[in-house]
């Protein structure tokens, strides 16, 4: 339902109003979106291993669902008020009771999450002893299989094939999607009694992409569609952001002359914190800009130094936005490779063909010089600029999405300057989401990360000119 349908006039375009694609997403369900907090929780079903089940959809006080690119599995927590002592009679003791959560926005498809309960985190009995407040913690069922399984096995294959084989050891209902193939070279690795997810994470660190050998920042994570083994570069390839979010002074968000615009409210940021605007010392220490590796072949008694410079390698991989994360012309950090130093022993003949037992020769199995320094830099780049926002809930949003952020600047200025903060605005990767659902509403806490900025930082400051321009504009 549009504003005009409710008898009001269309709201005037003020600050950076939203594009037609975003508007279409919110109205595709024939106007079913009733308000910015509209949602429906259809089911919160708990099933005991002993066979009993109960739907607490009318008892819950809060449901939280967590997704994170740097965490292998999803998790959830449920708070509810228990006046029937369900915890005792079902019972709920954290012994892998099944938790099924079904909810949606009216304009989106129904979303179903399934978890295993592993903990009764809180059980607070009221002073009248007539009810208790209960908090349950749950995790994806594959996590239980992961902690119950250890792998002691040798592999000779492509790395993505090894990952698929290892995941099959814990696969339950969810599937693994390898979104980016590793290079075609086979390697020899022995997994020494590790949990499957630990082995996959170890392989992800040293996996080069088939499409771009420089893109060695593979991650292994779960979203609502299943498990993903992919590169950060692959996530950056999404050209059209899934949503544009706006954070601006109240006078720009609404006007008493007009009816509420629910489409605008869906994108309105209620809380914004620039959590990590750039820790340059830590970035240097962790090898984001410059680093060096020494490889020593203990058999041939040879050593080799390899240096890495982010400034030289920056364009070899895709980034979420267009410009260099700091002022490129003034970047002296990338010329200091001794800032982050590594030593890696290698053994050329360690994986060669054996005359007695056969096998295949792998000349350079580890190839530390090809991936170690580059991966350290790429992963640190991703966390070089982090913004945390609280927005109205959207069941379609998931970690790995690309969104756009529009923030009006703090200071007064010209009409053009008022439209956006040119360094804060732009594309971001959704690195984590916490869906918070209560009887009063549905909100999301999102962590947005970027490894670049929308507009390059200047080599020459224009501070005085900008201050004068802002002062003149405020007097007008």
* Structure tokens belonging to residue 284: 């240097």
H-assigned helices in 5-140: 20-27, 86-89
Residues 6 or more apart whose Cβ sits within 8 Å of residue 169: 145, 149, 151, 196
Omega cis (within 30) before 91: yes
What is the Cα–Cα distance from 442 to 438, expressed in whole angstroms? 6
* Structure tokens belonging to residue 458: 């200047």
Residues 6 or more apart whose Cβ sits within 8 Å of residue 271: 388, 389, 390
pLDDT tens string 356-396: 445 566 666 778 888 999 999 999 999 999 999 999 988 88
From first to last of its 476 residues, the chain has per-residue pLDDT tens of 333 333 333 333 333 333 444 444 444 333 333 444 578 899 999 999 998 999 999 999 999 999 999 999 999 999 999 998 999 999 999 999 999 999 887 767 889 999 999 999 888 888 887 889 999 999 999 999 999 999 999 998 899 999 999 999 998 878 899 999 998 888 888 999 999 999 999 999 999 999 999 999 999 999 999 999 999 999 999 989 999 998 876 555 555 555 556 667 678 899 999 988 889 999 999 999 999 999 998 888 889 999 999 999 999 999 999 899 999 999 999 999 999 999 998 876 666 554 444 556 666 677 888 899 999 999 999 999 999 999 998 888 999 999 999 988 776 555 555 567 788 999 999 999 999 999 988 999 999 999 999 889 988 877 666 666 656 655 55
192 touches 243 (CB < 8 A): no
pLDDT tens string 70-82: 999 999 999 999 9
pTM of the model: 0.85
> Going by DSSP bridges, is the β-strand pair 402-407/244-247 parallel, antiparallel, or unpaired?
parallel
Would you give the distance in Å from CA 476 to the centre of its chain? 44
What is the Cα–Cα distance from 90 to 120, expressed in whole angstroms? 13
What is the Cα–Cα distance from 426 to 421, expressed in whole angstroms? 9
What is the Cα–Cα distance from 365 to 351, expressed in whole angstroms? 7
In this predicted structure, what is the pLDDT of residue 300? 82
Angle, CA of 20, 21 and 27, to the nearest 5°:
85
Q: Where are the beta strands (DSSP E) in 323-412?
A: 341-346, 385-392, 402-407
- Residue closest to 265 by CA, chosen among 18, 5, 7: 18
In this predicted structure, what is the pLDDT of residue 39? 83
């Amino acid at each position: 339902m549009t504003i005009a349908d409710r008898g009001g006039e269309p709201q005037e375009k003020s600050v950076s109003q939203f594009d037609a694609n975003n508007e279409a997403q919110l109205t595709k369900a024939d106007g079913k979106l009733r308000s910015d907090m509209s949602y429906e929780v259809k089911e919160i079903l708990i099933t005991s291993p002993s066979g009993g089940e109960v739907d607490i959809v009318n008892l819950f006080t809060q449901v939280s669902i967590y997704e994170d690119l740097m965490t292998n599995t999803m998790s959830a927590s449920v708070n509810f008020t228990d006046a029937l002592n369900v915890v005792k009679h079902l019972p709920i003791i954290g012994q892998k009771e099944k938790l099924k959560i079904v909810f949606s926005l009216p304009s989106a498809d129904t979303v179903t999450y399934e978890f295993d309960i592993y903990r009764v985190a809180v059980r607070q009995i009221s002073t009248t002893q007539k009810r208790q407040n209960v908090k349950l913690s749950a995790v994806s069922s594959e996590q239980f299989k992961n902690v119950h399984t250890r792998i002691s096995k040798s592999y000779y294959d492509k790395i993505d094939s090894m990952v698929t084989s290892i995941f099959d050891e814990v696969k339950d209902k969810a599937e693994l999607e390898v979104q980016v193939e590793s290079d075609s070279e086979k390697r020899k690795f022995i997994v020494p009694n590790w949990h499957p997810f630990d082995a996959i994470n170890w392989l992800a660190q040293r996996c080069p992409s088939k499409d771009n050998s420089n893109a060695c920042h593979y991650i292994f994570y779960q979203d609502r569609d299943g498990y993903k083994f992919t590169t950060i570069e692959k996530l950056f390839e999404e050209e059209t952001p899934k949503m544009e979010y706006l954070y601006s002074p109240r006078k720009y968000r609404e006007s008493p002359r007009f009816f509420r615009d629910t489409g605008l409210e869906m994108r309105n940021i209620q809380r914004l914190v620039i959590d990590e605007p750039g820790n340059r010392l830590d970035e240097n220490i962790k090898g984001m800009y410059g680093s060096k590796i020494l490889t020593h072949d203990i058999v041939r008694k040879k050593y080799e130094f390899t240096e890495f410079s982010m400034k030289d390698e920056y364009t070899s991989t895709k980034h979420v936005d267009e410009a260099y994360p700091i002022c490129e012309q003034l970047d002296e950090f990338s010329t200091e490779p001794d800032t982050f130093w590594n030593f890696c022993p290698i053994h050329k003949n360690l994986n060669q063909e054996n005359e007695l037992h056969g096998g295949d020769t792998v000349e350079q199995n580890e190839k530390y010089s090809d991936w170690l320094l580059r991966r350290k830099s790429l992963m640190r780049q991703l966390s070089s600029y982090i913004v945390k926002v609280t927005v109205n809930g959207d069941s379609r949003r998931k970690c790995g999405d690309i969104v756009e952020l529009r923030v009006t600047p703090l200071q007064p200025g010209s009409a053009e300057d008022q439209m956006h903060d040119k360094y804060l605005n732009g594309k971001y990767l959704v690195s984590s989401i916490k869906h918070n659902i209560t009887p009063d509403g549905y909100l999301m806490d999102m962590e947005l990360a970027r490894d670049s900025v929308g507009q390059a930082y200047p080599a020459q400051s224009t501070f005085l000119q900008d201050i004068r321009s802002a002062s003149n504009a405020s007097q007008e």
